[in-house]
């Protein structure tokens, strides 16, 4: 990294195309080495903590740059398009009211089991079928290493590092 930084200073100073090319080669080398070393480090950390849930989570959180004591403050919640709450006590009371009522609201939507309705009324047989097809490991590996983060918020960096282990399971 020190050599890379020195080469950049020289390239800026001389404005020579050859110096810039030499700097870029060194920069690419440094970037590849950093990635390789990180991959090795996190692989070793995950392997070292195999079977230890807390240690594995700690290693994964470190990999994903998550801090263990993140505190999120909610400054405002919108009740409707025209009403919002900003007072912390009002916000807390509104959340409390929501969680108190949600169980009762969901329970009221469940039909009474004593009403004489049979199980078959709620469930019907499906005529559709599905069959699992064998997928080549190389295809799964390619998908994992080229995937973008999806709705599950799993960073694609983690998928790329874990891909060789995931395809073996």
Please give the Cα distance from 21 to 17 (Å, whole number).
6
Its pTM stands at 0.37
User: Residue 144 in contact with residue 126, Cβ under 8 Å?
Assistant: no
Residue-wise pLDDT for 81-120, tens only, equals: 888 999 989 988 998 998 999 988 888 887 776 666 666 6
Per-residue model confidence (pLDDT) at position 119: 66
Per-residue model confidence (pLDDT) at position 109: 83
The domain segmentation of the chain, as residue ranges, is: 1-66, 77-112, 129-169
Q: Pick the closest to residue 30 from 4, 63, 8 (CA basis).
A: 4
């Amino acid at each position: 990294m020190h050599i890379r930084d020195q080469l950049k200073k020289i390239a800026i100073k001389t404005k020579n195309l050859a110096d810039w090319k030499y700097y870029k080669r060194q920069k690419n080398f440094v970037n590849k080495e950093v990635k390789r070393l990180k991959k090795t480090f996190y692989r070793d950390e995950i392997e070292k903590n195999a079977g230890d849930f807390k240690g594995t989570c700690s290693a994964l959180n470190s990999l994903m740059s998550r801090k263990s004591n993140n505190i999120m403050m909610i400054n405002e919640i919108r009740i409707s398009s025209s009403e919002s709450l900003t007072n912390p006590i009002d916000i807390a009371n509104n959340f409390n009211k929501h969680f108190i009522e949600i169980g009762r609201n969901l329970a009221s939507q469940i039909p009474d089991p004593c009403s004489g309705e049979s199980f078959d009324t709620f469930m019907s047989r499906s005529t559709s079928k599905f069959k699992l097809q064998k997928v080549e490991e190389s295809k799964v590996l390619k998908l994992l290493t080229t995937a973008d983060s999806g709705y599950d918020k799993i960073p694609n960096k983690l998928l790329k590092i874990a891909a060789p282990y995931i395809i073996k399971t």
